[in-house]
Amino acid sequence: MRISRTRKPADLRVCAGYMAATDPWVRLGRTYRDCLAALRAPREVYAAREKGAIAGFIVLQTYGVLNGYIQTVCVAPGLRGRGVGTELVRFAEKRILSKGPNVFMCVSSFNLGARKLYERLGYERAGLLKNFIIRGEDELLLRKTTGPRSEFARKARN
């Protein structure tokens, strides 16, 4: 599997289609148009390709207050459970942890499969956002860290 950055309109349409057709985005009321707009926003989009086809993708925010934020992880519906999500998250961690000590992401409280994956990868709950996107469902703020920001900044200066 090869993971590379993409901004190609055709790739973004495929990715938006995967999102709009599956949970958690279906349950959160995200349409294809909503998903495509989110992918076109100024973020880093990386596609994982298997035999030339997009197997999944990840969207990162690497600037701002929560720099090191994984905004979206999505695997093609027929390829779930085969390690694509794990590879995408590990790719993102390598990218993010080279710039700072923290990786953040949110996961919907009802998204048990994703929660299990992120826990297995070492993410811990850092906060709870009650009724954040839709009423009756919460978002869990997750964090994986290598240490305090002050220690990372000190190492970077030396």
CATH number at residue 44: 3.40.630.30
Average pLDDT over all residues of the chain: 93
Bigger pLDDT: 99 vs 129: 129
Q: Which residue has the tokens 């929660």?
A: 115
% of the chain surpassing 90 pLDDT: 82
Please report which residue ranges of the chain form alpha helices under DSSP H: 9-20, 32-40, 84-97, 112-120, 149-157
Q: How many distinct structural domains can be found in the chain? A: 1
Q: How many CA atoms lie within 13 A of 155 on its CB side?
A: 12
- Report pLDDT for 156: 66
Q: How confident is the model at residue 67 (pLDDT cuts 50, 70, 90)?
A: confident
Element spanning 24, H or E: none
Mean pLDDT value across residues 48-60: 96
- Compute the distance between CA of residue 10 and CA of residue 148 in angstroms, rounded to an integer: 40
Q: How confident is the model at residue 154 (pLDDT cuts 50, 70, 90)?
A: low
The answer to whether residues 77 and 18 touch, using CB atoms and an 8 Å cutoff, is yes
pTM above 0.85, yes or no: yes
Q: How confident is the model at residue 157 (pLDDT cuts 50, 70, 90)?
A: low
Q: How confident is the model at residue 65 (pLDDT cuts 50, 70, 90)?
A: confident
pLDDT digits (tens, 9 = 90+) for 72-123: 999 999 999 999 999 999 999 999 999 889 999 999 999 999 999 999 999 9
Torsion-angle region of residue 5: left (phi > 0), alpha (psi -120 to 50) or beta?
beta
Question: Residue 76: which domain range?
Answer: 2-157
Check pLDDT > 90 for residue 20. Answer: yes
